[in-house]
Amino acid sequence: MAGQADDQARKAAKYGEADVSVGAGGETHQVAGGQCPVMTTQQGIPVSDDQNSLKVGARGPTLLEDFHFREKMFHFDHERIPERVVHARGFGAHGYFETYEPLTDLTRADLFQRKGEKTPAFVRFSTVAGNKGSADLARDVRGFAVKFYTKEGNWDLVGNNIPVFFIQDAMKFPDMVHAVKQEPDRGFPQAASAHDNFWDFISLSPESMHMIMWVMSDRALPRSFRFMEGFGVHTFRLVNAEGKSTFVKFHWKPKQGLQSVVWNEAVKINGADPDFHRRDLWDAIQAGDFPEWELGLQVFDEAFAEKFAFDVLDATKLIPEEEVPIRPVGRLVLDRTVDNFFAETEQVAFCTQNVVPGVDFSDDPLLQGRNFSYLDTQLKRLGSPNFTHIPINAPQCPMHTFQQDGHMAMRNPKGRVNYEPNSWGVGPRESPDKGFRTYPAPVEGPKLRARPETFSDHYSQARQFYISQTDIEKAHIANAITFELSKVETPAIRSRVVAHLLNIDKGLAETVARQIRLKEMPKPADALKPTRQDLPPSKALSIVQNGPKSFAGRKVGALVTDGVDAGVLDALAAALKAEGVTLKLVAPEVGGVKDSAGAWRDAHEKLEGGPSVLFDAVAILPSKDGAALLAGLPAARDFVADAVAHRKFLGYVADAMPLFEKAGVAAALDEGFVPLKAAADAQAFVAACRKVRFWDRAGAER
């Protein structure tokens, strides 16, 4: 009954204390805002609960008979053709997964049985909200979907770069996506959450507040797909050969380290190169700089799940690494780009329901809903139940079924028999020993629509995430929320968001309220459970505190002119190459420059087309005459000023000072500026760049 009481409180908070009784047919019912029509299905059947899917008990699996959920997801999955409804903007690559050690104690999954075994894999990265033509650096969640072509079938680990999600029950997925997408009457904004509909939904959905902290953080602005984490989001099960089950959460840790961009930088990158993430992954693989991630497992049993402060079936919660350490079990290497974008990246079909023997589901209601939704989506997108006949989706192990015909069937069973059982001894048969067996978790309870009471704490982990950030990261979160709310036209929505922030951190709420100049501070939002103050910071939740160990895989832009010091430039190129860094020459003309020794240096970018936002660090290497030329060019002044504002490291020669003066940075040289007086100084510049950002730079960002 606690779950039902919880839902009543939830609805009271959303609709007020007015009567929410359901009428029939075309009748209306009274809510806080006045008379509203009764919600019905497309068949006209009145809906009693649009918040929760039908489950066996509050924490049990979702029931197939839930016709309202089925219809809602069915319609949502078929709203767009031909691009994906979400994750439309994507980029993929081939590679392999290599197992470190056998995991026979945990799972019978074939890919985890032998040390050093390499399993082919395909990975698709994506943004969530934008359409196919949107820019890469939108503030958004990033999809991280991996298809393992195992010897016992395809396993799709379909996750994100954030370990939690906006909602707890898949019933709300269409509403959440509708809210964040462009507003339907005007068709904008594109690939942006800074608008009334999104924040209206968020301000009425306190369960979203943990995710909001992540999306307003630098996690939503990754420097590259190569420098971001991935998560399976949900709690799954691993099942070994003896039938023993263990709960598991999946993590992808980038070996290249974590890195993000700042908001002003992202905005300018989108203008300079809207394909920035795509180009970065393509260039790295083509250059042989293959990105790698480690797959890590958080493994825990029923006893831990029972004593853990939050419900492990709640997708808006995570398990801190300090409580359950991550066990590395293998590595993912991407070493091949696609041959054809449409045939592979666009047609690849991921389904969370695609698991192999030894991997199983939990009763997470969001996961249960995803298991239903994805297959339905692929039918609409790819036009046929035979989408597994497309090479990118086909398993790379033997496949035998009696399924046949349908649109675009590329293979059909031979002979007269297309059914089982049959008397002819023809065709495949089930195998109790080798086949997939669902873990027989006991399920008992009444059929009802409710959230369990254990799903009711919406603010404690949001607070834990916030206090785990460094001061600069906290400032970025406050500024991100401020920017988003500045685009919200309805004052009441802004106020409701601040009311939620008061339950997370008073200082954050006050900062945002001051920056949007809220006339009156609201009361804290009603909370089903008070915010816990005892949860400690978790270092693993911060990007800055988990920075890279080297500068490898990055790009440095060197602004050069005729007369550039050949010795300094050669030394810089050598030091960067030794570090595994790409050097790009940016010149006033794309043809190139003549160096101090009279040799010609081809340029990679023309100044106006190669702004400093495209690089992780910059070197300013003009000759004396060249600096005078650059000082008169707005693009050159922006090149320097942006690098400083974005807290990048700058190597420079003394002749660059006139440009620094014109860019307004000459009086603010700090330890992030590394003088390149001689060839030996290149090593000092590379050593400084390993920190990626000079966060101590004063006044770089408001």
Model pTM score:
0.90
Per-residue pLDDT at 266: 97
Closest CA to 685 of 674, 677, 696, 695: 674
Per-residue pLDDT at 350: 95
Per-residue pLDDT at 307: 97
For the residues 417-445, what does the mean pLDDT come to?
A: 88
φ, ψ for residue 357, nearest 5 deg: -50, 130
CB burial of 584-615 (b: ≥16 within 10 Å; e: otherwise) equals: ebbbbebeebebeeeeebebbbebbebbbbbb
pLDDT band at residue 557 under the 50/70/90 scheme = very high
Bridge partners (DSSP) of residue 222 are: 260
For the residues 514-532, what does the mean pLDDT come to?
A: 97
| Rounded-to-integer distance, Cα 556 and Cα 38, Å | 60
Chain segment 161-181, per-residue pLDDT in tens: 999 999 999 999 999 999 999
Instruction: Tally the C-alpha atoms within 13 A of residue 268's C-alpha that lie toward its C-beta.
Output: 21
Per-residue pLDDT at 149: 96
Query: Could you confirm whether 29 is annotated as catalytic?
Result: no
CB atoms < 10 A from the CB of 79, how many? 12
Q: Report which residue type is found at 548.
A: P
Catalogue the E-assigned strands of 443-542. Answer: 447-449
Instruction: Tally the C-alpha atoms within 13 A of residue 197's C-alpha that lie toward its C-beta.
Output: 18
Per-residue pLDDT at 371: 92
Per-residue pLDDT at 20: 36
| Rounded-to-integer distance, Cα 143 and Cα 149, Å | 19
| Rounded-to-integer distance, Cα 55 and Cα 3, Å | 12
Bridge partners (DSSP) of residue 333 are: 96, 292
Q: Which residues neighbour 440 within 8 Å (Cβ) at sequence distance 6 or greater?
A: none
| Rounded-to-integer distance, Cα 534 and Cα 369, Å | 33
Residue 158, phi-psi category: left (phi > 0), alpha (psi -120 to 50), beta (remainder): beta
Q: Can you list the alpha helix ranges (DSSP code H) found in 140-230?
A: 173-180, 196-203, 209-215
Burial (CB count <10 Å: 0-12, 13-18, 19+), residue 70: middle
Chain segment 478-516, per-residue pLDDT in tens: 999 999 999 999 999 999 999 999 999 999 999 999 999
Chain segment 391-417, per-residue pLDDT in tens: 999 999 888 888 888 888 888 888 888
Please state, in angstroms and as integers, the Cα–Cα distance from residue 85 to each residue in 75, 369, 378, 621, 632, following that order.
11, 16, 11, 47, 47
Chain segment 236-264, per-residue pLDDT in tens: 999 999 999 999 999 999 999 999 999 99
Asked if 652 and 620 touch (Cβ cutoff 8 Å), the reply is yes
Domains of the chain, first to last = 2-73 (4.10.91.20), 84-169+224-393 (2.40.180.10), 551-689 (3.40.50.880)
For the residues 653-670, what does the mean pLDDT come to?
A: 95
Chain segment 281-329, per-residue pLDDT in tens: 999 999 999 999 999 999 999 999 999 999 999 999 999 999 999 999 9
- Ordered DSSP codes for 442-467: -----EEE---GGG---SHHHHHHHH
Closest CA to 655 of 628, 682, 684: 628
Per-residue pLDDT at 71: 81
Please determine, for residue 24, whether its predicted confidence score (pLDDT) is greater than 50: no
> What percentage of residues in the chain have a pLDDT greater than 90?
79
Q: Report which residue type is found at 26.
A: G
Work out the mean pLDDT of the chain and round it to a whole number: 92
| Rounded-to-integer distance, Cα 586 and Cα 203, Å | 46
CB atoms < 10 A from the CB of 11, how many? 15
Asked if 694 and 647 touch (Cβ cutoff 8 Å), the reply is yes
For the residues 217-240, what does the mean pLDDT come to?
A: 98
User: Catalytic pick from 68, 94, 154, 160?
Assistant: 160
Q: Which residues neighbour 149 within 8 Å (Cβ) at sequence distance 6 or greater?
A: 119, 120, 121, 122, 395, 396, 397
Tokens of residue 335, six digits: 């070493």
Please determine, for residue 269, whether its predicted confidence score (pLDDT) is greater than 60: yes
pLDDT band at residue 702 under the 50/70/90 scheme = very low
Q: Is 206 helix (H, G, I), strand (E, B) or coil?
A: helix
φ, ψ for residue 63, nearest 5 deg: -95, 140
Asked if 373 and 123 touch (Cβ cutoff 8 Å), the reply is no
Beta-strand pair 555-560/617-621: parallel
Residue 367, phi-psi category: left (phi > 0), alpha (psi -120 to 50), beta (remainder): alpha
CB atoms < 10 A from the CB of 242, how many? 8
Query: Could you confirm whether 646 is annotated as catalytic?
Result: no
Report the chain's terminal Cα–Cα distance, integer Å.
49
Please state, in angstroms and as integers, the Cα–Cα distance from residue 268 to each residue in 481, 609, 630, following that order.
19, 12, 20
Closest CA to 190 of 73, 91, 270: 270
Chain segment 137-156, per-residue pLDDT in tens: 999 999 999 999 999 999 99
User: Catalytic pick from 87, 476, 500, 646?
Assistant: 87
Per-residue pLDDT at 701: 55
Burial (CB count <10 Å: 0-12, 13-18, 19+), residue 411: exposed
Per-residue pLDDT at 15: 40
Q: Which residues neighbour 577 within 8 Å (Cβ) at sequence distance 6 or greater?
A: 583
> What percentage of residues in the chain have a pLDDT greater than 70?
94
Q: Which residues neighbour 669 within 8 Å (Cβ) at sequence distance 6 or greater?
A: 660
Per-residue pLDDT at 16: 41
Please determine, for residue 81, whether its predicted confidence score (pLDDT) is greater than 60: no
H helix and E strand count, the chain: 18, 22
Per-residue pLDDT at 27: 60
Please determine, for residue 29, whether its predicted confidence score (pLDDT) is greater than 70: no
For the residues 643-669, what does the mean pLDDT come to?
A: 96
- The DSSP H or E segment spanning 439 is none
| Rounded-to-integer distance, Cα 414 and Cα 416, Å | 7
Closest CA to 613 of 579, 572, 589, 647: 647
| Rounded-to-integer distance, Cα 254 and Cα 50, Å | 39
Query: Between 418 and 682, where is the model more confident?
Result: 682
Tokens of residue 555, six digits: 């790009």
Tokens of residue 87, six digits: 């994750």
Per-residue pLDDT at 26: 52
pLDDT band at residue 5 under the 50/70/90 scheme = very low
